[in-house]
Amino acid sequence: MNSHAETIARIRKDLGERLVIMGHHYQSDSVIRHVDLKGDSLELARKVESVKAEHIVFCGVYFMGESAALLARQGQKVYLPEEDANCVMSQMAPAARVDKVLRHLAGSGRTVVPLTYVNSSVGVKAVCGKHGGSVCTSANAETMMRWAMERGDAVLFIPDKNLGRNTANRLGIPESAWHMLNIRQDGDAVDTDAAARARLLLWPGLCAIHARFNLRQIETARQEHPGVRVVVHPECAPEVVAASDAAGSTSFIINYVREAPEGSAVAIGTEINLVERLAQEYRGRKTVVPLLESACSHMASVTEEKLAITLQDVANGTAEEVRAPIGFADHARLALTRMLEACA
C-alpha cells in the first residue's frame, strides 16, 4: 500500500460511518478502489438521498459534487478532492444567457419547457426549475424529454446537442421539428422564426471527449474484430450512435459488457478509464477494446493524493465544503427533485 492509500485507510477507520466516499465510473483505478458508492450520474444522485453519513467526499467533476450538495440532508457536508475539476460541457451554457433565451422564446406566446442535462451549472438548473423545467441524465433522457414535451409546446434542451438529438431520435421526434439555436456572443441569440416552429430547441454544446468518436473507428473495430458489438455513450454524435449496436449511460455500458457472451468482443466509445477497467476485468473471457483512447482530463484531475489530502482536511475540520450559491439553491433543487420524482 502506498502512503496515500495508507492515509485514506487510516482516516476511513477513524471516521467510520461518519464518512462516505462516492465516485463516478470515469475515476481512475487508484481512486475508484477507495470508493464506497459508485455509479452513473443518475445512480449517484439517487444514492445521495440514502446516505446518512455526515461527510460525503465526492470523486468526480464539480457539477456532480454540487448536485450532491443540493440533494444532501441538512447538516451533511459534501467535499470534492479537486474543486477545479470542471466538466467543460457544463460551462457551455451560461445561466444568464439561458434565462435570456427563455424569456425571448416566451415572447412567441408558446410554452417552452427547459430541460437541462445534469452536466450543467447550478445556475442553469435554477433557471430550469424557475421556468417549470427539470434535469435529466444520460440514463433517463427519454423519460425526461417526454415529461417536458407533455408540459408545453416545445422543449429547450441544454447544453448537449448530441444527447438532445439522440434522445429525440429514440422518441421519434423528426428532425424537421428540431432547431439548433444560434447562440451568438453578443446578444439575444434566437432565430425566432425557425425557433417559433420547432418542438425541440437545442443548445449547441457538446462533450469534446465524446465528439472524438467517429464512423471510421467503428468500421475499423468491425474489421479487426468480426462480430464485435459496439456500444457508445449518447454524448457521441447521432451518426456514431446510429452505427453502433447500443448506446447508454456509463452504467448501461458496464451492464452491456457484463451481458455480452463469453468469448465475444465489445468495442466501446466512452472515456478511457472506464473502458480500460472493463478490459482488465474481463481479460481472458471477453475482448473489450476502446474505439479510441479518449480521456477526460477533468475527471483525471482527481487523484489518490488529493483524496488523501481532502480526507485529512475533513478529519481536521478544515476541508472546504461544496455549497450551492444561496440565490440558486432552491430552484436548482426543485429541478433535480422533479427529475427524481418523475423517475422514481
Residues in contact with ligand SF4 by the rule CB under 6 A? 61, 87-89, 119, 207, 209, 235, 271, 296, 298-299
Does the footprint of ligand 13P cover residue 294 (CB under 6 A)?
no
Rounded to a whole number, what is the distance in angstroms from the first to the last CA of the chain? 41
- Of 159 and 265, which has the nearer Cβ to ligand SF4? 159
Q: Residue 271 CB, nearest distance to ligand SF4 (Å)? A: 5
Residue 88 interacting entry, from ligand SF4, ligand 13P, none, C-beta within 5 to 8 Å by type = ligand SF4
CB of 295 to ligand SF4, least distance (A): 9
d(CA 32, CA 29): 5
CB of 232 vs ligand SF4, minimal distance in Å = 13
**Least Å distance between CB 274 and ligand 13P?**
9
Interatomic CA distance for residues 236 and 234, integer angstroms = 5
The smaller minimum CB distance to ligand SF4, of residues 61 and 95, is found at 61
Chain positions 29 to 88 lying near ligand 13P, rule: CB under 6 A, are 40-41
CB closer to ligand 13P, 108 vs 214: 214
Interface of this chain with ligand 13P, residues 105 to 124, rule: CB under 6 A? 119
Minimum CB separation of residue 141 from ligand SF4 in Å reads 13
Which listed option, ligand SF4, ligand 13P, none, makes contact with residue 298 (CB within 5 to 8 Å by class)? ligand SF4
Whose Cβ is closer to ligand SF4: residue 164's or residue 195's? 164
Q: Tell me: does residue 137 bind ligand 13P (CB under 6 A).
A: yes
Nearest Cα to 241, choosing from 251, 253, 230?
A: 230
- Write out the binding residues for ligand 13P, residues 228-247 only, by CB under 6 A: 233, 235
Of 27 and 76, the one with the shorter C-beta distance to ligand SF4 is 27
In the set 207, 254, 265, 267, which binds ligand 13P (CB under 6 A)? 207
List of residues contacting ligand 13P (CB under 6 A): 25, 40-41, 119, 137-138, 207, 233, 235, 249-250
